[in-house]
Amino acid sequence: MADGHLAGSGAGELETHDFDVVVIGAGGAGLRAAVEAKDRGLRTALVCKSLLGKAHTVMAEGGAAAAMGNVWPEDSWQVHFRDTMRGGKMLNNWRMAQLHAQEAPDRIYELERWGALFDRTKDGKILQRDFGGHRYARLAHVGDRTGLELIRTLQQRAVAQGIEVFMECKILRLLKDGEGRVSAAVGYWRPTGGFVAFTAKAFVLATGSVGKSWKYTSNSWESTGDGHAMALWAGADMIDMECVQFHPTGMVWPLSVRGILVTEGVRGDGGVLRNSEGRRFMFDYIPAMFAAETADSEAEGDRWYDDHINNRRPPELLPRDEVARSINSEVKAGRGSPHGGVFLDIASRRSAEYIRRRLPSMYHQFKELAGVDITAEPMEVGPTCHYIMGGIRVEADTAASTVPGLFACGEVAGGMHGSNRLGGNSLSDLLVFGRRAGMAASDYAEGRTGSPAIDRAEAQAVVAEALAPFGRDGGESPYDVHRDLQETMQALVGIIRTESELRQAAEELDKLGERADRVAVSGGRAYNPGWNLATDLPSMLTVSRLVATGALERRESRGGHTRDDYPKPDPEFGKVNLVQRLDDQGRFTVTPEPLLQMPPELAALFEEPAAGTTAAPGKEGH
C-alpha cells in the first residue's frame, strides 16, 4: 500500500493515500458506487464533506421509483421509461432512461437483502405509492423518510464491507497525469485544516447538487456543485446545465425555513393545491402534452386514487415543472397565500390518523418549525430550488465522463432526467448508476497500467490557492459574497428567465467572481466554516456561470428551463443538448450537439397514447 507522505524539499509534506478507486461524495450514489467497487475486490475509498450518513440523500422523502408492479401489475419498465422521457420533455439520454427503468427493481430488492425495511402491501410485497408523472403507483417507500432508509442501508452495507471512509474531507481539485487521465484529488480535512491528496486509478464523482447558489433551496450547505466544477476544470463536457428543478412545494413560512422540502407524497396521498380563492387551480394549467391522461374534473381526479384504470390522474400530479410554474403564475396573479405561496391541503381530504401514518415527518416538520398542524389546516408552499438535471456528460452504460479515469453518478451526472426529473426517479437513479459507475470504474482501474502519480507543483498550487484568503488583509467576508450570489441567482436565474436578466446575471457573476478572489478569512484552519465557505465559492460561481450561460443560449421553454421571452418549446432545441466546456484559454464555450438517436423499438413506445397499459374503452390515454 502506497500510503504515506510525499517528501518535499523544504516545502512541508502532503498526506497522501493511494487506492484503486476513489469515490468522492457519500450520498446514495457514492455509497452505491463504493459498495460495488469494494465487492469487486478493489482498494476503495469513500471521501465525503460531512460525517457518513448525513448527505443530502437523507432528505429524500417520497420514495424510489421502480416498476416492480406490486400494486399495479400493469406496470412495466417500458411504461416507466416512457413516463421518464415524457417528464424530461424528451431531452433525456434515452439509454440512461432505459437502463434506469429496467434495473431499478433489482436495485430495490437488493436493498431489502441488505436490511432495508420498506412499507408492505397486504400480501407482504414492497408497497408502492403514487407520485407526479408516474402512470402507476411506483415508489417504494418507508413513510416519508425513504432517503434515510436508503442511505442508512447503504451506509451499513459499506461499513460491513470495511470500506475506508474519509469523513469531513473537502476535495478541491482533480489532477491529471501526462496522458490526460485523472490521477489524483487534492483536498483538506475540515477538522484540522491539514491538506491531503488521494491518488487512484479511477475516480467517481458523486457530489450531488448545486442548490446553495440560490437563496431559497431545499439543499443543505454541502450542495455547492464541487463535482460539477471540478469536472469542468478537469476538461469534462457538461450538458444542459440550464435545466434546474424548482420543486413546487417548499415551505414558505417562517422565513428561516423557507425552501425546506414538502414531499410530493402529500399530493400522491391525496393532497390538493388551492389558491386564495379556494380553487383547485391546477385544473387551469393542464398542458396539451398531458391532457389525454389528466383528469378534467375534481370528481374524476378524486376517483383516480382508488381506480387508476378507469380514471385519469389529478393535475396536482403533473410533472414538477408544470406544477411549479403554475404556482408561480397564481402567486403573480395575486391569488397566493399570505406569505407568497399557495395552499397545500390534505387536512380536509384524509383522516388525521392516515396523515400521521403516511406523512409522519411532514407532520413533525410543520408542527415543530411552523406551528402548523397539517391534519387540521392547510400548508403554505411555494417553489424551491431542488435539483439539477444537467451535469457531467456521461456514457450511459459506464457512467464514464469525457475525461479518462473520471466517472460520475447521481445528481452530478447529466442526461438521465432530460429537462425535468420525475419525483422518485432520483433515488432509483443513484442506485442504478451508482452501481454502474462502481463497476465501470473498477474495470477501468483494473485495466490501467502504471501507478497514478501526483504532480507536486500542481498540488502545491491548489493548496496555495485554498490558503490565499488567510493572507489577505481587509478583504470581504465570504458570507457576504455568498449572500449576494444567492440573491443574484434567485432574482435573475430563477424559475422564470429572460434574456435581459440573464445578461445582467452574467455581468453580476463576473463581479462576484472578482469579489470572491478578494475574500479574507480570520481564525485558524481547524474547523473554520468561514474558510470552508471561501473554498466553496469557486465551485458555486462556476456552476452559476454554467447555468446562466446555458439558460441564455437555450431560447425556448422546456422542463426545468422556462424563458419568459421564449415561452414555448422549440422543436429545434428539442433535438440538442447544450454542451459546455472550457476552451484552451479557460473560457466557457457552449455548443449545441445532437441528442442520441433512439432506436425504433423504443421510439415506437411514444407513438401510442399509452404504451404497455390496458386501455379503458372510450378513454384515450388509458
Partner 1 sequence: MADVTMRVWRGDSSGGQFADYTMPAVEGEVVLDVVHRIQAGPAPDLACRWNCKAGKCGSCSAEINGMPRLMCMTRMDELPTHEPIVVAPMKTFPIIRDLVTDVSFNYVMARQLPPLKPKAPEPDGTYRMQQVDVERGQEFRKCIECFLCQNVCHVIRDHEENKPSYAGPRMFIRYMELESHPLDTNDRLELLRQRMGIGLCNITKCCTEVCPEHIKITDNAIIPLKERVVSSSYDPIAWLGRKILRRTKRSAGEAAQDAPAFTAPTSEDRLERQAVPVAVAPATAGGTPGAPAPSAPDVPPTAPAADA
Q: In angstroms, rounded to a whole number, what is the distance separating the alpha carbons of residues 89 and 47?
A: 35
Q: Which is nearer to partner 1, 280 or 448 (CB)?
A: 448
Residue list 41-100, contact with partner 1 (CB under 8 A): 43-44, 50-56, 58-59
Q: Which is nearer to partner 1, 16 or 557 (CB)?
A: 16
Q: Which is nearer to partner 1, 186 or 552 (CB)?
A: 186
Under the binding rule (CB under 8 A), the answer on residue 8 touching partner 1 is: yes
Q: Which is nearer to partner 1, 288 or 457 (CB)?
A: 457
User: Interacting stretch for partner 1, rule CB under 8 A, among 5-13, 89-97, 318-326, 394-402?
Assistant: 5-13
Cα-based angle 295, 299, 300 (whole degrees, multiple of 5):
35
Under the binding rule (CB under 8 A), the answer on residue 246 touching partner 1 is: no
- Give me the least distance between CB of 222 and partner 1, in Å please: 7
Cβ atoms of 428 and 32 within 8 Å: the answer is no
- Give me the least distance between CB of 466 and partner 1, in Å please: 8
Q: In angstroms, rounded to a whole number, what is the distance separating the alpha carbons of residues 426 and 328?
A: 24
Q: How many residues are present in the chain? A: 622
DSSP for residue 120? B
Q: In angstroms, rounded to a whole number, what is the distance separating the alpha carbons of residues 374 and 2?
A: 56
85, 90, 96, 142: which one binds partner 1 (CB under 8 A): 142
Cβ atoms of 524 and 467 within 8 Å: the answer is no
Q: Where are the beta strands (DSSP E) in 89-212?
A: 128-129, 139-140, 164-166, 169-176, 182-189, 195-205
Residue list 163-182, contact with partner 1 (CB under 8 A): 163-168
User: Interacting stretch for partner 1, rule CB under 8 A, among 105-113, 133-141, 207-215, 228-236?
Assistant: 105-113
At 108, the amino acid letter reads I
- Give me the least distance between CB of 365 and partner 1, in Å please: 6
Under the binding rule (CB under 8 A), the answer on residue 10 touching partner 1 is: yes
User: Interacting stretch for partner 1, rule CB under 8 A, among 88-96, 141-149, 308-316, 569-577?
Assistant: 141-149
Parallel/antiparallel/unpaired status of strands 44-47 and 164-166: parallel
At 159, the amino acid letter reads V
Q: Which is nearer to partner 1, 156 or 329 (CB)?
A: 156
233, 479, 588, 606: which one binds partner 1 (CB under 8 A): 479
If binding means CB under 8 A, how many residues of this protein chain bind partner 1?
107
Q: In angstroms, rounded to a whole number, what is the distance separating the alpha carbons of residues 603 and 622?
A: 19
User: Interacting stretch for partner 1, rule CB under 8 A, among 154-162, 198-206, 320-328, 605-613?
Assistant: 154-162
Cβ atoms of 248 and 324 within 8 Å: the answer is yes
Instruction: Mark residues 369-388: x for contact with partner 1 by CB under 8 A, - for none.
Output: xx------------------
Q: What are phi and psi of 238, to 5 degrees?
A: -115, 145
Cβ neighbours for 519, distance < 8 A, ≥ 6 positions apart: 469, 472, 475, 476, 477, 478, 481, 534, 537
Under the binding rule (CB under 8 A), the answer on residue 114 touching partner 1 is: yes
Q: In angstroms, rounded to a whole number, what is the distance separating the alpha carbons of residues 212 and 514?
A: 19
Under the binding rule (CB under 8 A), the answer on residue 526 touching partner 1 is: yes
Residue list 190-219, contact with partner 1 (CB under 8 A): 191-196
Cβ atoms of 541 and 512 within 8 Å: the answer is yes
Question: Could you list the active site residues?
Answer: 247, 267
Residue list 417-476, contact with partner 1 (CB under 8 A): 459-461, 463-468, 470-472
Q: C-alpha cell of 295?
A: 383528469
- Give me the least distance between CB of 252 and partner 1, in Å please: 11
